[in-house]
Copies of this chain bind each other. A is one copy, B any other.
Amino acid sequence: MRKGKAVVVCVIASTLTSTIPNISLAGEMAAATLFTPALDVEYVQYGKPQSIDSIPTTPSGIPTPAVITRAALQLSNAPFIVVNSGSYVEPKLPALTLPSRRVGGRIDKEEALPRGTSKRLFSEAKTAGKTFSSLSDVVLIGESMPGGTTTALSILKGLGMGDYSSVSSSSNVNPIDIKKSVVEAALKRAEGMDDPFEINDVLGDPLHISIAGIAIGALSGGSHVILAGGTQMLAALALMRASGEEFDEEKVSIATTKWVFDDKGEKMGKLVGSLAPGASLVYADLSFSDSPFEGLKAYDEGFVKEGVGAGGTSVLALLKGRSVEDLKRSIYIEYERLMKMR
């Protein structure tokens, strides 16, 4: 993995689940969360959002983790490819588009996807993953989808995995009661089902099944796969397992941030162990506690924590021989540039 060519893939989608009041921090207003994925990837690609002139931040002004991603990508010099699996807003950049992409429904009151969609998304994503593997030795897969920790929890529970403390949150106070009531409503609709694709249609979202498909496709082509994210990537791994497709566990790593690891590392390790004992769980030992910037210090206070492949791309930069100090310096410079743009 150190020497191989790597490609960084960012899968984007929307779920109306993010518009449930107080469930996500990924936008100042519930509806704004529907723009976040497009703005995140536009910013990573061009250094500036294109769809609207607004850097994704939380209500208190904490910047998107894409700041880390962009800085880390510059250090590792890996190509960045966006896969659109159902973003509410089409990003203004060349993106690999899955034909069955679709915004996910609000899982507390409706099915996530029309029946059959998850199976098609998985198959299309597998094709994309095979293409990525023919182009590179390491396929890193990040994501941006507000509401994702809630639907990830729903998927894990729907597949009979994990419990309500399995997933992290972008807030320092995890709104677990809201999440729990949303997930329980979703689970009721899936009672008695056992096909993982159908379960995902009913209670999941378009994102995690697409990540699972890309990963399976890339592994089938012989590449290493880095699932770049926190607890959401457990849902992707659970879907990979449930899909029935064989894959080489040794070639799968989940790579996240220290902030997620500190919060849920032990829990994650156990789940990875039961889903794919050969897979590894790693994190980037990056902290902003000595940062001069309040917006970044907030990460150390438990806000945001992860997203847009921030942890995984940091790990990749370190694997490519850059030091944690290099990485921090590069993130601080990027953060300053960003703040001047506001």
Which chain B positions have C-beta within 8 A of A99?
90-94
A96 CB–B CB distance under 8 Å: yes
Q: Is the CB of B79 within 8 A of A125?
A: no
- A227 interface hit (Cβ, 8 Å): no
Q: 16 other contacts beyond A5-B135, A94-B98, with CB at 8 A cut-off?
A: A7-B135, A79-B131, A79-B135, A81-B131, A90-B99, A91-B99, A93-B99, A93-B124, A93-B127, A94-B96, A94-B99, A94-B127, A94-B131, A95-B96, A96-B96, A97-B97
In the assembled complex, the CB of A132 is this many whole angstroms from the nearest CB of chain B, namely 9
The answer to whether A57 has its CB under 8 Å from any CB of chain B is no
List the 8 closest pairs (A to B, CB-CB), nearest first: A79-B134, A94-B128, A97-B97, A135-B135, A92-B99, A79-B131, A94-B96, A96-B96
Chain B residues with CB under 8 Å of A97's CB are 84, 90, 94-97
How far is B4's CA from A36's CA once the two chains are assembled, in angstroms? Answer: 38
CA distance A94 to B128 in the complex (A): 6
Cβ of A80 < 8 Å from any Cβ of B? Answer: yes
Q: Which residue of B lies closest to A83 (CB)?
A: B94
What separation, in Å, do the CA atoms of A134 and B78 have in the docked complex?
8
**Is A136 in the interface zone, CB < 8 Å from B?**
yes
A83 to B93, CA, bound (A): 12
Count of A interface residues, CB-CB < 8 Å: 27
A94 touches B124 (CB 8 A): yes
Cβ contacts A1-22/B at 8 Å (1 or 0 each): 0000101000000000000000
Q: Does A171 contact B (CB under 8 A)?
A: no
CA separation between A91 and B124, bound complex, in Å?
12
A287 at the interface (CB under 8 A from B): no
| Residues 116-146 of chain A, each 1 if its beta carbon lies under 8 Å from chain B, else 0 | 0000000011011001001110000000000
Name the distance in Å between A33's Cβ and chain B's nearest Cβ.
Answer: 21
Q: How far is the CB of A309 from chain B (nearest CB, A)?
A: 16
Nearest-Cβ distance from residue A265 to partner chain B, whole angstroms: 33
List the B residue with the shortest CB-CB distance to A131: B79
> Are B125 and A94 in contact, CB atoms less than 8 angstroms apart?
yes
For A125, list chain B residues within 8 Å (CB): 94
Within 8 A of B (CB), among A66-102: 78-81, 83-84, 90-99
Residue of A83, A95, A124, A134 contacting most chain B CB atoms (<10 Å): A134
Docked complex Cα distance between A322 and B271 (Å): 48
Min distance, Cβ A118 to any Cβ of chain B, angstroms = 16
Give A96 Cβ to nearest chain B Cβ, in Å: 5
